């Protein structure tokens, strides 16, 4: 019995050792890379059944980009409002970055490394996931009419327009093969240029090229909207005749303030003023016309207002039978060298008129270079006013 048991025990130990050798060999092959077992690794579908294959919306994003205004001027600062999210029944997106691009490159990253849940639209900069705003953009000439390039595509330029593009990128958990988020939206804003043109001509008597001495200087003119946006509160002011009544060019009827002019539209005006004795003596009367208007943009501001001027002199005819004599040449003393003075002329010591341009005294005693005709103005008074 002892011998039988001993033989049985030996046989059992031999089998165990053989099994161990086989297992060790297999482990060695695996470690050496000579035997590979098939492994299946599945990507995450989050939430379940969100992929297109399972009836969901899959990698479907939503979003957009808007400016806070529809119109602006070069030099204005406006704001950009981007948004990004996943559509209803879409899969969740992770590690998402949202960026805004303009002509010169990236303007801002409004989202950085965030998770976008299905059916949720993140509007920036209001949402807590967003980078702090506002996202400001100052309009420069280089942006107007230029295109925009981004990692996800580009936009061509459009005349009188500034464009911006929103990009969204990240990983969409769409199941067997996770997908790249690739969201692209654009916005445009119109850039306007207000403009006014004023024209004025003297209305000489028929067949004449000058006005009779001491008669009213008559003139006519027009003001035109030469820009690309409607102007309102259009006015015309003459420094001699005052505010001009603007008229409808079609029938001459008065336009009721506030006067508005569409692009290309115009209004007309006419008026007159009396020349001064000095102007009669000089044979020319001058006046200056200024027109102003404001465009209808919501942004307003100083760039919404526009001004233009017209300056000219109307000829005055010589008085028949009168020979102009250079009889008066004003002289002054006790001047302060370095100070600026304006020569003024009067016939009654009440109404004074500037004559020619101001000058700077170079000595304490000086002669004015102008002469005045005593035949036209028997009594003339002169004074110098200090110009601050």
Q: Given 158, 191, 224, which residue is the final one in a domain?
A: 191
CATH number, position 105: 2.60.40
What is the model's pLDDT at position 350?
83
186 and 229: one domain? Answer: no
3-state secondary structure of 262: coil
Is the residue at 247 inside a domain?
yes
What is the model's pLDDT at position 36?
43
Range of the structural domain that residue 155 is part of: 52-191
In Å, how far from its chain's centre is CA 249?
33
As a whole number of Å, the CA-based R_g of the chain is 43
Q: Given 191, 211, 237, which residue is the final one in a domain?
A: 191
Give the helix/strand (H/E) hosting 2.
Answer: helix 2-32
pTM, rounded to two decimals: 0.71
Q: Given 295, 315, 335, which residue is the final one in a domain?
A: 315
| Residues 75 and 191 sit within 8 Å (Cβ to Cβ) | no
Residue 208 makes CB contacts below 8 A (sequence gap 6+) with 317
* Per-residue pLDDT in tens (0 to 9) along the chain, 388 residues: 222 222 222 333 444 445 455 545 544 544 444 344 443 435 799 999 999 999 999 999 999 999 999 999 999 999 999 999 999 999 999 999 999 999 999 999 999 999 999 999 999 999 999 999 999 999 999 999 999 999 999 999 999 999 999 999 999 999 878 999 999 999 999 999 999 999 999 999 999 999 998 899 999 999 999 999 999 999 999 999 999 999 999 999 999 999 999 999 999 999 999 998 888 878 899 999 999 999 999 999 999 999 999 998 999 998 765 554 445 678 888 889 999 999 888 877 888 888 888 889 899 888 777 766 665 556 778 888 898 8
Is the residue at 11 inside a domain?
no
Is the residue at 244 inside a domain?
yes
d(CA 363, CA 337): 5
Q: How many domains does the chain have?
A: 3
In Å, how far from its chain's centre is CA 367?
53
| Residues 111 and 98 sit within 8 Å (Cβ to Cβ) | yes
Structure-token match 């002509």, residue found: 103
Nearest to 335 by CA among 358, 364, 368: 364
Question: CA-CA distances (angstroms) from residue 382 to 98, 229, 341, 344, 350?
Answer: 75, 49, 12, 6, 12
d(CA 251, CA 272): 21
Is the residue at 25 inside a domain?
no
Tokens standing for residue 20: 């161990």
58 and 166: one domain? Answer: yes
């Amino acid at each position: 019995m002892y011998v039988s048991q001993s033989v049985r025990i030996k046989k059992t130990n031999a089998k165990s050792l053989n099994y161990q050798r086989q297992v060790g060999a297999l482990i060695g092959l695996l470690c050496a890379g000579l035997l590979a077992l098939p492994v299946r690794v599945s990507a995450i579908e989050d939430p379940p059944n969100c992929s297109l294959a399972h009836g969901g919306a899959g990698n479907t994003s939503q979003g957009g980009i808007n400016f806070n205004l529809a119109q602006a001027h070069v030099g204005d600062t406006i704001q950009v409002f981007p948004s990004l999210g996943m559509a209803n029944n879409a899969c969740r997106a992770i590690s998402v970055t949202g960026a805004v691009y303009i002509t010169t490159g990236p303007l801002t990253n409004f989202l950085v490394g965030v998770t976008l849940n299905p059916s949720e639209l993140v509007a920036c900069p209001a949402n807590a996931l967003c980078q702090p705003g506002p996202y400001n953009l100052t309009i420069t000439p280089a942006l107007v009419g230029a295109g925009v390039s981004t990692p996800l595509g580009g936009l061509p330029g459009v005349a009188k327009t500034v464009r911006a593009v929103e990009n969204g990128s990240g990983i969409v958990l769409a199941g067997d093969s996770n997908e790249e988020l690739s969201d692209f939206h654009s916005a445009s804003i119109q850039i306007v240029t207000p403009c006014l043109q004023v024209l004025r001509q003297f209305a000489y008597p028929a067949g004449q090229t000058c006005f009779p001495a001491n008669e009213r200087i008559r003139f006519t003119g027009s003001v035109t909207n030469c820009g690309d946006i409607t102007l309102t509160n259009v006015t015309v002011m003459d420094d001699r005749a005052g505010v001009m009544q603007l008229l409808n060019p079609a029938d001459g009827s008065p336009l009721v303030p506030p006067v508005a002019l569409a692009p290309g539209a115009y209004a007309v005006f006419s008026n007159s003023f009396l020349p001064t004795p000095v102007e009669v003596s000089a044979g020319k009367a001058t006046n200056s016309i200024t027109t102003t208007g404001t465009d209808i943009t919501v942004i307003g501001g100083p760039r919404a207002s526009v001004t233009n001027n017209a300056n000219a002199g109307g000829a005055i005819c010589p008085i028949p039978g009168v020979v102009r004599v250079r009889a008066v040449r004003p002289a002054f003393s006790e001047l302060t060298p370095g100070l600026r003075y304006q020569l003024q002329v009067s016939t009654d010591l009440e109404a004074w008129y500037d004559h020619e341009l101001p000058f700077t005294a170079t000595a304490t005693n000086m002669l004015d270079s102008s002469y005045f005709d005593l035949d036209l103005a028997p009594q003339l008074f002169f004074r110098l006013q200090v110009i601050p």
